[in-house]
Structure 1
Amino acid sequence: MTTSLHIVCPHCDAVNRVPDERLGEGPTCGKCQLGLFTGQPVDLSNARFQKHIERSDIPVLVDFWAPWCGPCRTMAPFYAQAAQRLEPRVRVVKVDTEANQDLGARYAIRSIPTLALFRGGREVARQPGAMDAGNILAWVQQQLNR
């Protein structure tokens, strides 16, 4: 029996059902026809954030950051490298806490950058501080194996 997963489109936010075994085959959105996985972090605003964490059946890794933050800018290319390796099994997103202050407040983000991993709409792990791609990948894998 084939298991289908709900995947939120990074372009139009439509919820798509994708058979689990087809995740790695470059699935496209049924609404906008663009790829469901880009290999790049998806920038999310307040309006889009909840849909992505609540409706995605795959884990969602969030980088809470700000443009004025030096460590955030240093970590950004490593985070993008990690996105290439984590997708399609993990959705990788970014939230600018300067532009989306209520999200930072809602999730009690006290330092940036902070990574948070969500499953089924709930935060399951958090890691503050800048990391390189290898450490991001190792941390995510450790959390997924729990």
Structure 2
Amino acid sequence: MADPLQVVCSHCGAVNRVPAARLTDRPVCGACRKPLFEGRPITLDEAGFRRHLRADSLPILVDFWASWCGPCRTMAPEFEAAAGMLEPTMRLAKVSTEDAPALAQELQIRGIPLIVLFRDGREIARQAGAIPARQIVAWARQHAG
């Protein structure tokens, strides 16, 4: 990873420059002073997703889900646990396909739950189905390189 990294604040959307060596030092946003990482997935709408994809230097692992989806609800605590294991070297986010149907269509999401790993604004890998936290972590690390 290049130094310093750009990290988008999930609270205010400000882009922060954080030295890679300081990622584990609990950095806070320079604009709103809230933590940049909280050990849990952030919730993004379509605009927030695009902002993180465009401006964040970190790989972004996104869980595409819907409230009516039983397997999505089963996987939610697993994805949250994975966030605690993967941050701050990776950003984890959740996007509701109900709230962002145009994005789901654009990304050709055919089934949920679906995790998709992005780096440098591009999709690198996707995995369908509910999987446990340790498998999410292993899969993400394998594909993030």
> Shorter-chain-normalised TM-score: which range?
over 0.9
**1:22 aligned onto 2:57:** no
How many Å separate the matches in 1 of 2:84 and 2:58?
A: 15
How many Å separate the matches in 2 of 1:85 and 1:7?
A: 18
- Residue identity matched to 1:46: E
Aligned-pair CA distance for 1:67:
0.4
Gapped runs of 5+ residues in structure 2?
none
Counterparts of 1:39-78 in structure 2 under 5 Å?
39-78=39-78
How many Å separate the matches in 2 of 1:3 and 1:107?
A: 30
- Residue identity matched to 2:96: D
- Residue identity matched to 1:57: S
- Residue identity matched to 1:19: P
The two structures have a TM-score, normalised by structure 2, of 0.97
- Residue identity matched to 1:103: L
Aligned-pair CA distance for 1:3:
1.8
Q: What whole-Å deviation, never above 9, does each CA across 1:20-70 have from its counterpart, x for those lacking one?
A: 100000000000000000111101001111010111111000000000000
Q: State the match for 1:89 in structure 2.
A: 89
How many Å separate the matches in 2 of 1:5 and 1:128?
A: 29
Aligned-pair CA distance for 1:141:
1.1
Identity across the alignment (%): 51
Aligned-pair CA distance for 1:144:
1.7
- Residue identity matched to 1:59: P
Instruction: State the secondary structure of the residue aligned to 1:10.
Output: coil
Q: State the match for 1:116 in structure 2.
A: 116
Aligned-pair CA distance for 1:140:
0.5
**1:105 aligned onto 2:101:** no
Aligned-pair CA distance for 1:132:
0.5
How many residues are aligned here?
144
Q: State the match for 1:127 in structure 2.
A: 127
The two structures have a TM-score, normalised by structure 1, of 0.96
Q: Which portions of structure 1, spanning 4 or more consecutive aligned residues, are displaced by more than 6 angstroms?
A: none
Gapped runs of 5+ residues in structure 1?
none
Aligned-pair CA distance for 1:112:
0.1
- Residue identity matched to 1:53: L
Instruction: State the secondary structure of the residue aligned to 1:111.
Output: coil
Aligned-pair CA distance for 1:135:
0.6
How many Å separate the matches in 2 of 1:39 and 1:53?
A: 19
Q: What whole-Å deviation, never above 9, does each CA across 1:66-94 have from its counterpart, x for those lacking one?
A: 00000000000000000001000000000
